Structure 1
Amino acid sequence: MPEASNPNATLSVAILSGKGGVGKSNLTLNLSYALFRAGHRVLLMDFDVGLANVDVLLGLSPEKNLQDLFRPEVTAAEVMVPVEPGGFDFLPAASGVPELLEMDDDMREVLFQKLNGVFGGYDYLMLDLGAGISPTVLSVAAMSQMRVLVVTPEPTSLTDSYAVIKVLHTQYGISDFHVLVNQVERVSDTQATFARLSAACSHFLGFEPQLIGGVRHDQALPDAVRRQIPLLRHAPKSPAALDIVSGAVRLHRVRQQRHDELLGGPVLGKIPTIRK
């Protein structure tokens, strides 16, 4: 990938899933690391306010988290944690905090008003959202400039991912989705899995998502989790790592294609109005 361009052309990427256990947080972390390693400034934001775990994947114990940002005296800079020098930073979430899980529009507005000032210093804002269709997940996904659904070949993952797409489409009018297929045994599984989801969207919703790629099942990934380091540092030549790098390249192409419209625009849009 080419070197990072104008820092104000920040692409916000919401990474979400229909169900838990599909490897969403791991993929978010490693996609972020791949983009950083290619020369881009990346802010990884853990927004899984129900079951936050990116800090565990990184082996970090942050002193502050998103919950602290609701205190007037706490700044975004105090909450951010450097992962790598030179432009890879992390915003940790709080796990199991009911107020954050049921965050209303006013709370989100307070939070993002505090964060908007730092977002523009990055090329990518990577948002690890919770699984499912909670109001917080849906609203932040709708505010983001790009949405990536992580799915696996399991029928339950496909069914739940379709439900997420359907709700975002019917409630917020969104029809721009990308799909990343995880835990595939063969390269052909990627296309087969994507084809099933795409066919359902085309038939029932009238549009098709776009494919980011597939990530092969790889024993190196759970090994990296146990070591609490990104897979791309632990085993950069492993099959899954190479697949993740390919996915990061495709993400960067989206940012290149949308570069002009991103310049000077909001990294996260206004809190959307739900359709009646």
Structure 2
Amino acid sequence: MTTNHTLSVSILSGKGGVGKTNIALNLGYCLHRGGHPLLLMDCDLGLANLDVLLGLAPERTLHDLLLGGASIDDVAVPIEQGGFDFIPAASGGPELVELDSDMRSLLLQRLSPAFARYDYLFLDLGAGLSPTVLAFAAMTRVRLVIITPEPTSLTDSYALMKVLATQHGVRDFHVIVNQAEDRAEEQTAYRRLAAACDKFLGFTPEFLGGIRLDKALPEAVRRQKPLMQTNPRALAAQDIFAIAVKLQRLRTALLPQLAEEPVLRALPADDY
């Protein structure tokens, strides 16, 4: 039996527009440049956009992996040589907007042969409370909740964590505050969310770090390149690097537990 060393990470948010996909891409870039093979999977099954951020036009997508008989090697696209790979989703495919338990089992079956190649599996989830988002979030070992200082982001992220905690027993979350003007605003946003979770849900999410508002990030989006590649000295790039270091420390601490666990937890058929 092969010992697992792959840390599965879901990147999620209560509302759209908080920079979740950019964070997933740039964190992945950082970790890969640090010597860690990583598979990044676009799990926004209705409105995929990782391929747009990368300036790619994939020939095959998750649709082909699940319904077209393709293997992971047929579908995975290298972002960089040496183990930074990407599985694109298909936009506007109604048959895959939500995955039932049979489709989730099939996905695990198709993905599992490749897990041993990677130190990390990143799932970039859609925003909100859809059954597929909740399922993927519950399946991973680590959950990164992306928030901004906006009240709607805090409210929606609290609702997301509440549903996962009360209905599915998930109570461990790591928070990243994005688009803060400064460290004070970043800390205020985190503390408001943490205080609500502590008071009403009985747990406190961990603070993983903040990413300051930086005009270099939308410029990288326009160029369809990761910020870590176009401007690694930008303030936001420095913040993302610091978060990547913390995430790698977390993986190192979890390695003994990972060895005894599957990369993605299978959910009961009636869980969703």
Give the TM-score normalised by structure 2: 0.96
Residue 7 of structure 1 and its aligned partner are, at CA, apart by 8.7
Report the equivalent of 2:133: 137
Specify every segment of 5 or more residues in structure 1 that has no aligned partner in the other structure, as ranges. 1-5
Report the equivalent of 1:78: 74
Report the equivalent of 1:179: 175
Alignment partner of 1:62 out of 55, 58, 79: 58
Report the equivalent of 2:203: 207
- What are the superposed Cα offsets for residues 244-273 of structure 1, whole Å, 9 maximum, x if unpaired? 000111111110110111125311011256
CA contact under 8 A between 1:30 and 1:232: conserved in structure 2? Answer: yes
Equivalence map 1:143-222=2 (5 Å): 143-222=139-218
Q: How large is the RMSD of aligned CA atoms in angstroms?
A: 1.6
Whole-angstrom CA distance in 2 between matches of 1:168 and 1:233: 35
Alignment partner of 1:114 out of 99, 110, 116: 110
The letter for the 1-side match of 2:39 is L
CA contact under 8 A between 2:63 and 2:90: conserved in structure 1? Answer: yes
Secondary structure of the 2:177 match is strand
The percentage of aligned residue pairs carrying the same residue is 57
Whole-angstrom CA distance in 2 between matches of 1:32 and 1:190: 22
Whole-angstrom CA distance in 1 between matches of 2:270 and 2:152: 26
Aligned length: 271
Report the equivalent of 2:17: 21
Secondary structure of the 1:120 match is helix
The letter for the 2-side match of 1:167 is V
Whole-angstrom CA distance in 1 between matches of 2:92 and 2:153: 23
Secondary structure of the 2:117 match is coil
CA contact under 8 A between 2:154 and 2:193: conserved in structure 1? Answer: yes
CA contact under 8 A between 2:101 and 2:269: conserved in structure 1? Answer: no
Report the equivalent of 1:93: 89
Secondary structure of the 2:214 match is coil
- What are the superposed Cα offsets for residues 40-95 of structure 1, whole Å, 9 maximum, x if unpaired? 00101100112110011011110000011123631111000011011100010111
Cα distance change of structure 1 residues 90 and 7 upon mapping to structure 2, 3 Å threshold:
farther
Cα distance change of structure 1 residues 82 and 115 upon mapping to structure 2, 3 Å threshold:
same
Report the equivalent of 1:3: none
CA contact under 8 A between 1:8 and 1:122: conserved in structure 2? Answer: no
Whole-angstrom CA distance in 2 between matches of 1:138 and 1:154: 23
Alignment partner of 1:44 out of 40, 47, 66: 40
Residue 111 of structure 1 and its aligned partner are, at CA, apart by 1.5
Whole-angstrom CA distance in 1 between matches of 2:12 and 2:39: 17
Give the TM-score normalised by structure 1: 0.95
The letter for the 2-side match of 1:42 is L
CA contact under 8 A between 2:3 and 2:260: conserved in structure 1? Answer: no
Is the deviation greater in 258-267 or in 221-230?
A: 258-267
Alignment partner of 1:249 out of 220, 241, 245: 245
- What are the superposed Cα offsets for residues 162-207 of structure 1, whole Å, 9 maximum, x if unpaired? 0000000011111100000000100111211100000000000001
Whole-angstrom CA distance in 1 between matches of 2:166 and 2:240: 31
Report the equivalent of 1:260: 256
Residue 99 of structure 1 and its aligned partner are, at CA, apart by 1.6
- What are the superposed Cα offsets for residues 211-255 of structure 1, whole Å, 9 maximum, x if unpaired? 010000000000000000000001000000000000111111110
Whole-angstrom CA distance in 2 between matches of 1:22 and 1:119: 29
